[in-house]
Amino acid sequence: MKPSRDRFPIKDAIERRLAVPGGPTLRALIRGGFERGPVFVLVHGLASNARMWDGVAVALEAGGYSSVAIDLRGHGQSDKPDDGYGFDTVVADIVAAVRVLGVTQAILVGQSWGGNIAVHGLRHRPDVFTSGVAVDGGFIELGTSFPSWDDCAHHLQPPLLAGTRASRLESAIRSMNSDWPESGIIGALSNFEYHEDGTLSPWLSFDRHMTILRELWMHRPSEMLPEIEQPLLFLPADSGDVSWTRNKEHAIEAALKVLAHGRAHWFRPAHHDLHAQFPDRTADVLITHLEEGFLR
């Protein structure tokens, strides 16, 4: 195993730095030897990182399947260029990483913003991704809820956490997610860079966060779904917010009507980061749908 530069050491994965031709170097966490079946390519959400998939990846490996979790550009311990945060470029980064690793069968799994990336990747790179999974994402169309970008930016801009005491934030994360396993807690804590003075800052800068949010505001996955031929599995979370859950149900029902091969498996109740909250259940759903022949 290669040594990790994480605050929280990685003990069960191979860490690699993958150079994207003409682009950034991406940090990837690899579990399994790629010997059996397709490889699950695990993509995090906005302002998140590859460590959020630790629990799922460990469970997948225990079930005999390989995975690679990637810190996307601007996030985690990958390079942080000032540009290239559109969906086409982010998908191209993932494709380049898959090719560097020599993966020939890839299932693209993404959470939240990553779910929209999964839809985008299936639509535009069917030569690379044999199927996809959207974890509480893939249906996000912020332009529907916020016709004005200024309104979207006002309501969804992230909190300014740079300079927060690390111990204070860790206590808050543990308190708010008391039902999460330790792998999920470490994943959430790994969204930040830790400084010698005891403070932290998000790996994803505020300006880059807002750039990606604008790209997400403009994204229209519903227009891509009718053109996707590969299987697509939705794993939505019912957080208990009745209105928001109803909106998700309508979006997914509409998606399943136009997809050539679509399914949905709800997690009720569940946090938006259901992969961190329920890693074993998430891995079990992925393996079941693969072994039943859906995620071929």
Pairing state between β 232-235 and 199-202 = unpaired
Angstrom CA distances, 237 to 156, 268, 276, 294, stand at 20, 6, 12, 21
Residue 2 pLDDT greater than 50, yes or no: no
Mean pLDDT of the 55-59 span = 98
* Range of lowest pLDDT (5-14, 240-249, 279-288): 5-14
Mean pLDDT of 4-19: 86
Compute the distance between CA of residue 182 and CA of residue 188 in angstroms, rounded to an integer.
10
Q: Is the pLDDT higher at 51 or at 8?
A: 51
Looking at the predicted structure, is the pLDDT value of residue 86 above 60? yes
Q: Kindly state the average pLDDT of the residues 255-281.
A: 98
Whether 1 shows a pLDDT value over 70: the answer reads no
Instruction: Give the pLDDT confidence score for residue 33 in this predicted structure.
Output: 83
Helix (H) or strand (E) run with residue 202 in it: strand 199-202
Enter the tokens of residue 281.
């259940």
Q: Report whether pLDDT(254) > 60.
A: yes
* Whole-structure pTM value: 0.96
Q: What percent of the chain has pLDDT over 90?
A: 93
Average pLDDT (179-201) is 97
Write down the pLDDT at residue 5.
61
Structure tokens at 130: 């044999």
The pLDDT mean for the chain works out to 95
- Helix spans in 102-165 (H): 113-124, 142-145, 149-156
User: Domains along the chain?
Assistant: 14-291 (3.40.50.1820)
Burial of 215-247, coded b for 16+ CB within 10 Å and e otherwise, reads bbbebebbebbeebebbbbbbbbbbeeeeebee
φ, ψ of residue 109 to 5 degrees: the values are -115, 120
